[in-house]
Amino acid sequence: MTNPDNPQNTKNYSEIGALPHGRPLQTEFNDGRDYPRLGSFSFRRGTLTDNQAALWDEHWPRLGKVLSDEHIDLDTWFGRRAPNGTIVEIGSGTGTSTAAMAPLEKDTNIVAVELYKAGHAKLLGSIVRDGLDNVRLIRGDGVEVLQRMFAPNSLTGVRIFFPDPWPKARHHKRRIIQSGTLHLIAERVKPGGILHVATDHAEYAEWIDELVEVEPQLEYLGWPEDTSDIPVLLDRQIITKFEGKGLDKNHVIKEYLWRKK
């Protein structure tokens, strides 16, 4: 059976950190809310260097997990009870922001969720090189990871930075910011916990604007001038390559904050 991360070899899907190819199993949410619906995945974007592959094989078993129906014991996984709890970052990409913010959040557990192995491999390299003991990785779709792997009221916050805007109208159903996703995040975050979203896509911002009050458990804060009472770090610390491309095109970055009531 061909491994989707490396279609030229014949290793099976039990390879470290691998996901099965094709359309994934998705939770059927029958609550009348809208949830993102995914297409098939092709994991042929990017390859690992020899050094990345060696680091992956050595460190993924301790630092990474693949989407499953396991509710994570965070204290055991991180080897501590974090004073400031746990933040989940959905769609961490290559982890540039994650790695930049983590040293300033040493008392917070950070879980970076990403589908693509090449992105996680770059972040894994930063974790090992910089000794970032407070970062862990999950490979899988963000909505399914939240639904299957985290208990209700278990998170201090969720971050979604520059999610795929899926600009074509027929693909809007794939956008992660939906009424159902906001509800799911509200269920997973503790009272007082924060959802932080950033986008530089104007039409996606308009889409989000229509949803800011849709989830009754979340108080929409906009982007307040005084953020001193926000219990999580808000400054991304660095302009990522993706973010920089948007700024070069004069895109306006819009940030959103919600707090669980």
Mean pLDDT of the chain: 89
pLDDT tens figures, 125-182: 999 999 999 999 999 999 999 999 999 999 999 999 999 999 999 999 999 999 999 9
Does 194 fall in a domain? yes
Find out whether 134 and 105 touch, Cβ atoms under 8 Å. Answer: yes
Question: Is 168 annotated as a binding-site member?
Answer: yes
Q: Which domain does 70 fall in, by range?
A: 50-260
Does 11 fall in a domain? no
pLDDT of the residue at 22: 67
Find out whether 36 and 176 touch, Cβ atoms under 8 Å. Answer: yes
| Pick from 19-23, 139-143, 213-217: least confident | 19-23
| Pick from 59-63, 177-181, 224-228, 229-233: least confident | 224-228
217 DSSP 8-state letter? T
Looking at residue 193, which CATH number applies to its domain? Answer: 3.40.50.150
How many structural domains comprise the chain?
1
| Pick from 4-18, 81-95, 162-176: least confident | 4-18
Does 5 fall in a domain? no
- SS3 breakdown of the chain: % helix, strand, coil, rounded to 5? 30, 20, 50
DSSP string covering 27-72: ----SS--------B---S----HHHHHHHHHHHHHHEEES-SPPP
Does 119 fall in a domain? yes
- For residues 40 and 223, what is the distance between their CA atoms, to the nearest angstrom? 35
Question: Is 249 annotated as a binding-site member?
Answer: no
**Tokens coding 3:** 């491994």
Does 161 fall in a domain? yes
pLDDT of the residue at 97: 94
Question: Is 248 annotated as a binding-site member?
Answer: no
pLDDT bracket for residue 247 (50, 70, 90): low
Does 211 fall in a domain? yes
DSSP string covering 151-206: -TT-EEEEEEES-----SGGGGGG-S-SHHHHHHHHHHEEEEEEEEEEE--HHHHH
Question: Is 34 annotated as a binding-site member?
Answer: no
Kindly tell me the burial class for residue 61, based on how many C-beta atoms sit within 10 Å of its own C-beta (0-12, 13-18, 19 or more): exposed
- Residues annotated as catalytic are 164
Does 29 fall in a domain? no
pTM value?
0.90
